Amino acid sequence: MSNSGINDDRAIEALQTRVGHVFSDQALLQQALTHRSAGPVHNERLEFLGDGVLNFIIAAALFDHNPQAPEGDLSRLRASLVRERTLAKVAAEIDLADSLVLGPGEMRDGSRRRASILADGVEALLGAIFCDAGFDAARAVVERLYADRLDNLPSVASLKDSKTRLQEWLQARARNRPEYELLRVTGADHCQHFVCRCLLADSGDAVEGEGGGRRKAEQDAARRMLAHLDANQEVNK
């Protein structure tokens, strides 16, 4: 395990203490921490399993703690808790990065701290816990790692993307849906820059947004349109 931060029994014990689960089958833990770049026995299958386990446990927790919330709100909350960014933060909290086993190429590229690899590692770890000790053990770990997040959930409104918020703003005022148009794409294939326009046909209001992809540019345009509408609403009150 020369490419891993796991060099001795103390490191393994420390990681398991931080996670809150001591493995009966230590080989499962090693597999969960092994990236596909490091060899044929890696964590992708455990990651697949852990993704399903995590989604179910979080869905059940949200369902129990938010008895009045509609399905759409529960879905947005769950998505915020299981997305890559959140999982990478969980990985940082248990200091997972230094325990990952990576191939030489990934080590040179500094991939140990890459959000996608950290998120995959957390999911694989949960899948391994499920295989090692069953659903209740996996649920206990998830509820422990997510305790503060479940107790301090963000508002659903803050989780909606700009295009959704703009559409709801317009619908609430019986106005037409916004129109989006791609204006231009610049840059090389590997680093393209997109500019899109958001147009409100019923008023003629139009703003431009930009980003590293069409969707990002449209989201930026929607965000700018919301700011424009909110500013005008304040002026016209």
Where the chain has pLDDT below 70, the residues are: 1-8, 109-111, 234-237
Structure pTM?
0.71
CA 144 to CA 233: how far, in whole Å? 45
Helix axes 71-82, 84-93, angle to 10 degrees: 50
Task: Specify whether 73 is catalytic.
Answer: no
Active-site residue, selected from the candidate residues 51, 73, 106, 220: 51
Among residues 9, 25, 84, 123, the one annotated as catalytic is 123
Look up 123 and say whether it is catalytic: yes
With H, G, I as helix, E, B as strand and everything else as coil, classify residue 28: helix
Q: Are 140 and 20 in contact (CB under 8 A)?
A: yes
Which domains are present in the chain? 9-154 (1.10.1520.10), 162-236 (3.30.160.20)
